[in-house]
Structure formats: C-alpha cells, structure tokens
Copies of this chain bind each other. A is one copy, B any other.
C-alpha cells in the first residue's frame, strides 16, 4: 500500500472508537471464512507435492493490530496440522513461520505485544505495501488477506481533477456518481490487482494457496443501496452539510475521496484471469443472510461506529482532528433519521471469498 494508503490506517489502541473494538463485521467475516480456510487447506493445498517443506511459511497481508489476524492464523495452522496428520506426515511435521504484514505505519508494537504467548508458530512482522514485493522468491506457501484488498494504493488522480469528466465533486466514493468516476476507480483497481498478483506470483511456491476475503459488490443491488454506497453516501452528505455551514471548506470536501473499490465476482475473476499466474479454485460473493443480520441491520449506532473505525484516520488527516467528532455525530444522527433507507441494504458487508493457487508455470493468459 503506497503513500495514499499510509493515510488509511485503522484507528489504533483500544478505545471506544478503535479498530480493535469495532471490527466485529470483519470478525464475523473471519468466522464465515473459517470454513473456507479449512476447505482451502484440506482440498486445494497439495502439501505433499512441495519439495521437503522444513518450514511452512504463512502470511497475513494487511494484518492490522489483531486480534482478528491471530484467530485467522490459528485456523490456518490448525488446518495445516490436521492435513499433515491425515497424510501421515506428523512425524515430519513442518514448523510454521507466520509473517504478519501491513504498511510500515501500522502499529507493530501493539501487534507484537498482543501475540498469543503459546503460539505454535514463529512470528515475524513485515512492513510495506502489498502492491510491491515483500518476500523473497518462492518463499511463501499460504497467503491470507482479510478485508484489505478493497483499499486502493491511492485515490485515482482524475476524480480529484475539476477539469476531468471523472471529477467526483461532493462525493467521497466511486459509487452513485458519474460513470466516469466509477471507471477511473475501476481502472485503478485493475492496475492494483495486477501489481498485487504479480508480486505474489514471484513470492509463492508452485501450488501455493491464497485465501482472500475482499469487500465485494453485488451486481444485482443498486450501487447507492450497497453497504459501501450507504456509508459513503452518509459521509459525503455530512461533509457537504458541514461545508454549507462553513465548518469545513467545500474545496476540501471535493479533494477528499475514500480509496476504496469493491469489485463484483465477475470483475475480480477477469482480473485474475488476465494476470494468469493463478488458477481460480473458488470465487464467490458471500453475504450473511442469517437471522442475526436482521437484528443488527437497523442499529444505527453500530453502523456509525463501524463506519467511523474504518474512516476516522483519513478524515482526521484530511480535515483536521477538531472536526472529527462532529462528522461522526452528524453521521450517526443522519443514519438514525434515515433508518428506512437501510432496511433494504445489506448491513453485513457482502464479501468475495477467493481461493487462488499458484500455477506450476507462469502462463500469462
């Protein structure tokens, strides 16, 4: 993640508004994905074909500060141990080395301080952008990423340019505006995915598996009613209200966009195929349709808190810390007043569940 992404660290620490205390949606996703990880390892990973695996190397790309990353890694290691045991490899069970990776402004001190004490793996931290190389050639066996790959490396230039047809005036996301805005974000996302997959193609062994969870878009749901559309719509409208009141400058709103793109399954599939280094073992859009979702669907406070945890750092850096509380108080009020809007929205965010396998030979499609 490059400079622009450095600006979108999740809120650190353990306070009411911290990421650690407001990542329930992500953890729900991680629970849903537990089955996917187990399936990926049990059915897709041919661990016995790897040449003499003394160490099995795992990475979580975009790990943040925990605790979700520790839960995911635990699932991966348990599934691998089970796999080795079922293949009769228990006597030569590999050791596990886990590379927790995020951009260098991530709070690695907090991450390291909260590592589980009796972990069945050797822990390391890797600072840097996953849109570039992070690891030596052919050194990774399993790469995992949860709710990180929808962050672009930066906001596309065109959408901040008042002379471009893609100028995203008065909005903060790629949805709900002119087609050109969407297309600028989409092109940028395509380049980022290509950079991500090409870097990983170098780093993963043949047969290595990637399990990716990415905020996705349901092409059957109107953009403005998609969860990202709702959150972005509320934030944009709050900022415009505050500009009208004179609390912040309108030009400052126009130069602010969230570097997020949520692909449909079809869009992501095309990008993976065009890259060509990975075979698609699974790629589907998953939504939580459980009863529980209807219980939380109209809790505006919770929606507001999750929106805040994910965007507060960016808002603070762009608009200054003195307006942050007002932005989110207004946001919560707006969500409360318009709760009818959310009845048909998927408050639990739709996610792409993707399993990719590194092909034996690089065959560019």
Q: Which residues of A come within 8 Å of B, CB atoms?
A: 54-55, 95-97, 99, 104-105, 107-109, 112-113, 115, 122-128, 133-139
Distance to closest chain B CB from A206 (angstroms): 13
Contacts of A123 in B (CB 8 A): 126-128
CB-based contact A137/B55 at 8 Å: yes
Contacts of A135 in B (CB 8 A): 97, 122
Can you sample 13 A-B contacts with CB below 8 Å?
A54-B136, A54-B137, A54-B138, A55-B137, A55-B139, A97-B139, A104-B112, A107-B109, A108-B125, A109-B109, A112-B127, A122-B136, A124-B125
Contacts of A127 in B (CB 8 A): 112, 115, 123, 125
Contacts of A124 in B (CB 8 A): 99, 124-126
Contacts of A99 in B (CB 8 A): 124
CB-based contact B139/A133 at 8 Å: no
CA distance A29 to B104 in the complex (A): 29
CB-based contact A113/B122 at 8 Å: no
Contacts of A128 in B (CB 8 A): 123
Contacts of A139 in B (CB 8 A): 54-55, 97
CA distance A108 to B112 in the complex (A): 9
Rank and list the top 8 A-B pairs by shortest CB-CB distance, nearest first: A55-B136, A112-B127, A95-B136, A125-B125, A124-B124, A104-B112, A108-B108, A124-B126
Query: Which residue of B is nearest A96, CB measured?
Result: B136
CB-based contact B109/A108 at 8 Å: yes
Since A125-B125, A125-B127 are in contact, a sample of 10 more A-B pairs with Cβ atoms closer than 8 Å, ordered by chain A residue number, is A54-B138, A97-B135, A104-B112, A108-B109, A108-B112, A115-B127, A122-B126, A122-B134, A123-B127, A123-B128
Distance to closest chain B CB from A62 (angstroms): 15
CB-based contact B97/A104 at 8 Å: no
Query: Which residue of B is nearest A52, CB measured?
Result: B51
CA distance A107 to B108 in the complex (A): 9
CA distance A133 to B120 in the complex (A): 12
Contacts of A138 in B (CB 8 A): 54
Distance to closest chain B CB from A205 (angstroms): 10
CA distance A202 to B108 in the complex (A): 27
Query: Which of A104, A113, A136 has most chain B Cβ within 10 Å?
Result: A136
CA distance A14 to B315 in the complex (A): 29
CA distance A356 to B120 in the complex (A): 29
CB-based contact B136/A97 at 8 Å: yes
Distance to closest chain B CB from A106 (angstroms): 8
Query: Which residue of B is nearest A57, CB measured?
Result: B136
Contacts of A107 in B (CB 8 A): 109
CA distance A108 to B115 in the complex (A): 14
Contacts of A109 in B (CB 8 A): 107-109
